[in-house]
């Protein structure tokens, strides 16, 4: 909504339309992580932090969120880094392969984006490799400052 206020972007193991395209919306809508959640969501106060995040991701339907994501573009000229999990976290090897391939495709379609593998992390990179995230953010800030002469 405010591309002139975005100085850089760091994606941390993001769910993406590329992942949906590889596995298919019908496959994912019943998936225990991406669609049909394997826990009771009726008492939000009893959900863990991770469960609350999953509810936010799929609560109003994966198809709707995918449509919004498809209509979102990354402004050109800003540094972009995409950090992807280096350790499997999805139930099936083909799902994990699709996750990595989706991140490769996403990074390839964003001009000057760089894909970074968090070799020692599954999906919870902020908890498993927080320094990698901080270092990546610092890198993006420095790149942006160099671009604008700061």
pLDDT over 60 (residue 149): no
**Which pTM does this prediction carry?**
0.83
> CB 140: neighbour CB atoms within 10 A?
19
Which of helix, strand or coil describes residue 69?
helix
102 closest CA partner among 38, 24, 10:
24
List pLDDT tens digits, range 80-129: 999 999 999 998 999 999 999 999 999 999 998 999 999 999 999 999 99
Mind listing the pLDDT tens digit for each residue in 9-51? 999 999 999 999 999 988 887 777 777 777 888 888 899 888 8
Full domain range(s) for residue 134: 3-148
Q: Are 81 and 50 in contact (CB under 8 A)?
A: no
Number of folded domains that form the chain? 1
């Amino acid at each position: 909504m405010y591309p002139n206020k975005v100085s850089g972007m760091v994606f941390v193991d993001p769910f993406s339309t590329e992942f949906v395209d590889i596995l298919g919306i019908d496959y994912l809508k019943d998936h225990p992580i991406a669609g049909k959640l394997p826990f009771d969501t009726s008492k939000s106060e009893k959900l863990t932090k991770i469960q609350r995040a999953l509810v936010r991701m799929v609560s109003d339907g994966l198809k709707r969120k995918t449509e919004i994501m498809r209509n979102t573009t990354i402004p050109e000229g800003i540094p972009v880094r995409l950090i992807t999990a280096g350790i499997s976290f999805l139930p099936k090897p083909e799902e994990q392969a699709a996750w990595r391939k989706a991140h490769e495709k996403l990074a390839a379609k964003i001009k000057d984006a760089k894909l970074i593998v968090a070799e020692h992390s599954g999906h919870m990179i902020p908890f498993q490799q927080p320094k990698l995230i901080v270092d990546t953010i610092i890198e993006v800030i420095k790149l942006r400052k160099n671009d604008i002469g700061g």
